[in-house]
Amino acid sequence: MMVYADTSALVKLFVEEAGTEATREMLSRAQVLGTAVVTWAEMVAALARSVRRGYLAKEEAKEAVRVLGEVWESWVRVRVDEGVVRYAGELAWAHGLRGYDAVHLAAALAWQEGLGYPVMLATFDRELWAAAKEEGLGVWPEVWK
């Protein structure tokens, strides 16, 4: 199973919140895990936000960033070039997505096209989940509650 994970799914590897255990289990089953290169900035920002909101101690977040640096190399990092960004603009318009959500969708679709194999998009963003499903990607969670 090829899994493209956006930041809302990947952050669950580092922060305990609703859906963490199921997400960790599903991501561990992926044959290949991919994400866009912009996910690095989003992940670090999410960890910093977790500190500000009191979900993580500062040292825990620093350790999470360190571990992210280790696992980052094992993930496929989908390049975000001008073609992907322009495609993201089209997807944002068509589905009413926020900017980086559209970038994630465009990156996942471009990765799937390049692979020639089905890709499943893991996300906890309702709009991105619905747009990915409409665009023909497999989605996880399989059902939105």
DSSP string, 6-74: -HHHHGGGTS--TTHHHHHHHHHT-SEEEEETTHHHHHHHHHHHHHHTTSS-HHHHHHHHHHHHHHHTT
Q: What is the CATH number of the domain that holds 52?
A: 3.40.50.1010
Asked whether residue 123 is assigned to any structural domain, the reply reads yes
Contact 78, 36 (CB under 8 A): yes
* pLDDT at residue 95 in the model: 98
Tell me the C-alpha distance between 111 and 137, whole Å.
11
- Crossing angle of helices 99-115 and 126-134, in 10° steps, is 30
Asked whether residue 77 is assigned to any structural domain, the reply reads yes
Secondary element (H or E) of residue 2? strand 2-5
* pLDDT at residue 143 in the model: 87
Asked whether residue 145 is assigned to any structural domain, the reply reads no
Asked whether residue 136 is assigned to any structural domain, the reply reads yes
Asked whether residue 74 is assigned to any structural domain, the reply reads yes
Contact 104, 97 (CB under 8 A): no
Asked whether residue 58 is assigned to any structural domain, the reply reads yes
Asked whether residue 60 is assigned to any structural domain, the reply reads yes
Query: For the chain, how many structural domains are there in total?
Result: 1
Instruction: Domain of residue 80: give its range.
Output: 2-140
Q: Residue ranges of the chain with pLDDT lower than 70?
A: 145
Contacts of 89 (CB under 8 A, 6+ apart): 102
The pTM of the full predicted model, rounded to 2 decimals, is 0.95
* pLDDT at residue 93 in the model: 98
